[in-house]
Structure 1
C-alpha cells in the first residue's frame, strides 16, 4: 500500500473515531450522565458552598388577570388621579418612596406588576399573563385589599372605612358574575391578603380561593389552610445589604443580639415585654423600644448589619417584617414564636440560617444569651454565607427577576394547583361534600 493510501485510510479512521466520540458525548449529555460544564467551562465560578440549586418547575404558570378599574388597585397610590381605565405595562406606576410601613404589605402590587410586565419570557418568570381565560391555569384578582385597609380603613372606625367595605362588595359582585369564578367556586383564583385586616368585612366569601397571606397563624383553619394557601414574606423595609463581603464578618459584627421595635403587642406579642426584662443589663445585647419612623428604620438597618444575631419575637401575629429585614441584612435570625409558618419552606431550609427558641426557652433567664454566646464561630459564618446565597429569594422587583420573591410566590401557587384541581373536580360530582368527615 502506498504512503498516500495509508494517509487516506488514517484520515478516514480518525474521522470515524471522532464522529463516534461526538455521538457518545451528545448522547451522554442528553441522558444526563455528562456534565458539559465540568469539561468545557472549568473556570466558571461554582455556587456558594451549601447553596440550594434552583428548583426545576417546567413551563411558567398561565394566569388570567381580571381587568379591574384602578380604584381597586393602583388608584390608591395616587388618590388625586381620576383615571379609571385598567392599568397597563406602559402606565404602571412605581411604588412610592414615602409609603412608610405600607410597603411591607405591598405583595399585591408586585404580583400584579409581574403579570403586566411584557418581557420576552426568557427571564425565568414563573408566571405569565394570558388574555384568553380558557387557557389559564389560575386567575388573579388585582384588588389591593391590604392597601385598601391601610388607605381607607386604617383606624377601623373612621368614615373612610366604608370605602374599603364598598370596594370589597364591588369586587365580589364582579367575581360573582364571572363564569370562571362560578365554575370553580373561586378555588383557582389567587387573592393577596397580606395585611391581617385585609378584606376583613367579607373574608368568609373568599375562603375557597388561593390566598396569599403572611400571618397564617392568625386565621382559623376554616379560613386558611396550607393545602391551598401560600405563605408570603413581608416586603422588607430596610435597605438590602448588597455589598456584604467583609473578610471577617464575625468579628466585624460587634453586637451579639439586636432588637428594635414596638414592645407592647397583643396575643403572642406579649412575649416582647417579658423579653425586655429578660435581656436587660447585657452589654452585647441591644433591645430597644421604638416606632417605625424613617430615621429609626435607617438606624435599625445599620445596627442589623453590625449584629451577629437579630431577634424576631412574635408581634400581634406570629410573623413580622423584622424577620425579612434580618434576612436581607444577613443577620442570623433568632425566631421566638411557637406558631409561625414560613414562606417557601418546601424549597428553603430555614434551620441552615436561623435559630429557633420556644417561648419557654426564650423566657428562661440567661438561657438564650448563653446559647448565643457559645454558638460556634464557624457555624455562624456558614449561616451568614447561607443568608448571602438565599436573600435574593426575599427581594421584590419590577420587572421581576429570576428566583426573586414574586417568582417564588407564583411557583408556590403552581405547587398548590393539583390539590385545587382535585377539589374542583370532586365538588362537581359529590352530592355530600367531604362525606368522610361525617362518618362516626
Structure 2
C-alpha cells in the first residue's frame, strides 16, 4: 500500500504538461522538464546526415514484384511491415539515388514480400522466398552487379517476424534459416535477437512501421496527466497457434496476466480500445513484451508518446541501437523476472523516471522511429542510410574472381525453389 501511495503522489506531480512540436506532430512532456539531448556518440549518430556519403542504385523491376502487389491489397500500406514499401518510395526521390550503377555504393532491389495478406490482414510469408529468389535471378541475369559480389554490396528490406527466414513461427523460421541467396547481402530487418540463426551480423535493425498520420490524429490535450502507472493492450495467450499457452512469448505474457491482472497499478487487458494511443499518453510505463518475435510496434508507439518502454525480451537487438540510447530511455526486465515487475518498477527512483521522460521528449529521437511522408531530416529513412554509409567503403574482398561462386543457388527447402 505504501508503494501505491508513493506513485499516486508522483502521478499528481506530473499532472501539468506542455507541448513540444516535432515537424507536424505534437507530443506531451512534463511541464517542469526540458528535453535532454542524447550525449556522446549516440547523439552524434542520431544527428548524422547521410546525403553525400553514399550513392544507391535502385533496380527497376517489373511491377509484379512491387506495385501490382500493392494495388491488389492496399492494406499493406498500414501494417507493421510497410517499411519495405515506404523505403522504396523514399529512395526513388532521395538525394542519395544514382541512375548510374557504375558509381553506386549500394544496390537496392524493391520487392514487397510481406504484401501477401490473409482476409484478416495478416501477412503470410510463405511465398516470400520464391518471390525473392525470382527477383535475384532477374537482377543477376539482366545486370552485372550482383554477380560481381553475389550480393555483398546489395541490401534488401525484409521486415518479417523473423526477417529473411520468412516464417512467423520461430521453430519453422529456425528450421528454414536465412534464404541462402541473401547470405552475403545486407539485410534491413525489424527482427533482432542475439545468437539467433535469423539475424545476420551485418544487419541493420529498424523499427516496425507505425502510421504517422494515424498517431497524429490521436494526440490528446496538453494538460492531460499521466495517471496510469503501467499500461498494456494485447494478447496474453495465442490460443489459436499455442493452445497450451507455454510457447507464445515464451510464457512472459501469460506471466504478466496471471501475476498482475488484479493489481491496481497495472492497466492491462486483451481489449484494444479506440483510445489506445490516448491511453499510452496517459501512462508512465508501457509494457513491450515479446510475442512470437521479440519486437513489436509498441516500441515505436511508446517512444512517440513518451511512455517509458518496459522491454521484456531476452537478448533483443533494438532498432538503431548506435543512435537510440535504449538503456537510458527504457527499462529492461528479464523474462524470468516478470513476476517481480511491480517491485522492479516501483523501486525506480523518481529522478530516474524524470530523466527518461526528458530523453523521450527529444524530438530527434522520436523522428528516428518514424517513416513519414514526406521524409523528414533524421527520420528512420535517414537512419537506415546512415547505417549503410557507416559500412563504407566496402572491403575489396567482397569482389569475386572471374568464375568464382560462393552462394548455393539450389540450397533450401524444395518448395522455395519452385518458380514464382
The answer to whether the Cα contact below 8 Å between 1:240 and 1:329 also exists between their aligned partners in 2 is no
1:402 maps onto 2:366 in alignment: no
CA offsets, 1:248-290, max 9 Å, x none?
x7xx111110110111254544210111111122112111124
Q: 2:242 aligns to what? A: none
Deviation for aligned residue 1:215: 1.2
The answer to whether the Cα contact below 8 Å between 1:255 and 1:284 also exists between their aligned partners in 2 is yes
CA offsets, 1:58-89, max 9 Å, x none?
72420000001222112222128xxxxxxxxx
Structure 2: distance between partners of 1:358 and 1:198: 24
The answer to whether the Cα contact below 8 Å between 1:233 and 1:343 also exists between their aligned partners in 2 is yes
Deviation for aligned residue 1:392: 1.1
Question: Aligned pair in 2 of structure 1 residues 322, 152: CA closer, same or farther (>3 Å)?
Answer: closer
**What SS does structure 2 have at the residue aligned with 1:216?**
coil
Q: 2:173 aligns to what? A: none
Structure 2: distance between partners of 1:152 and 1:275: 27
**What SS does structure 1 have at the residue aligned with 2:72?**
coil
Higher helix share: 1
Structure 2: distance between partners of 1:245 and 1:380: 22
1:308 maps onto 2:270 in alignment: no
Structure 1: distance between partners of 2:102 and 2:183: 23
Larger RCO (alpha carbons 8 Å, 6+ apart): 2
Q: 2:137 aligns to what? A: 173
Deviation for aligned residue 1:373: 2.3
Q: 1:324 aligns to what? A: 300
* Number of aligned residue pairs: 343
Q: 2:152 aligns to what? A: 187
Alignment of 1:8-407 (within 5 A): 48-51=35-38, 52-53=43-44, 54-55=47-48, 59-79=52-72, 102-117=78-93, 121=95, 128-148=96-116, 164=128, 166-177=130-141, 178-196=143-161, 200=166, 203-217=179-193, 220-221=196-197, 224-226=199-201, 228-237=202-211, 239-240=215-216, 246=222, 252-265=225-238, 266=247, 268-290=249-271, 296=272, 298-363=274-339, 367-389=340-362, 390-407=365-382
The answer to whether the Cα contact below 8 Å between 2:115 and 2:123 also exists between their aligned partners in 1 is no
Structure 2: distance between partners of 1:131 and 1:138: 12
The answer to whether the Cα contact below 8 Å between 1:267 and 1:317 also exists between their aligned partners in 2 is no
Deviation for aligned residue 1:155: 7.7
Q: 1:15 aligns to what? A: none
Structure 2: distance between partners of 1:343 and 1:411: 13
Question: Aligned pair in 2 of structure 1 residues 205, 165: CA closer, same or farther (>3 Å)?
Answer: closer
Question: Aligned pair in 2 of structure 1 residues 405, 155: CA closer, same or farther (>3 Å)?
Answer: closer
**What SS does structure 2 have at the residue aligned with 1:256?**
strand
Structure 2: distance between partners of 1:140 and 1:218: 26
Structure 2: distance between partners of 1:146 and 1:198: 10
**What SS does structure 2 have at the residue aligned with 1:112?**
helix
Larger Rg: 1
**What SS does structure 1 have at the residue aligned with 2:131?**
helix
Deviation for aligned residue 1:50: 3.1
User: Pairwise CA RMSD of aligned residues?
Assistant: 3.3
Query: Any unmatched runs of 5+ in structure 2?
Result: 1-33, 167-175, 239-246, 407-420
Question: TM-score of the superposition, structure 2-length normalised?
Answer: 0.72
CA offsets, 1:137-191, max 9 Å, x none?
000010011224669996869xxx66x5653342122122131000011011111
Question: Aligned pair in 2 of structure 1 residues 78, 258: CA closer, same or farther (>3 Å)?
Answer: same
**What SS does structure 2 have at the residue aligned with 1:400?**
coil
The answer to whether the Cα contact below 8 Å between 2:58 and 2:109 also exists between their aligned partners in 1 is yes
Structure 2: distance between partners of 1:218 and 1:110: 27
Deviation for aligned residue 1:371: 2.8
Q: 1:44 aligns to what? A: none
Structure 2: distance between partners of 1:55 and 1:345: 14
Deviation for aligned residue 1:357: 0.9
The answer to whether the Cα contact below 8 Å between 1:115 and 1:129 also exists between their aligned partners in 2 is yes
The answer to whether the Cα contact below 8 Å between 1:113 and 1:399 also exists between their aligned partners in 2 is no
Point out the more displaced range, 394-403 or 370-379: 370-379
Structure 2: distance between partners of 1:391 and 1:241: 16
**What SS does structure 2 have at the residue aligned with 1:239?**
helix
Query: Any unmatched runs of 5+ in structure 1?
Result: 1-46, 81-95, 122-127, 291-295, 434-440
Point out the more displaced range, 206-215 or 70-79: 70-79
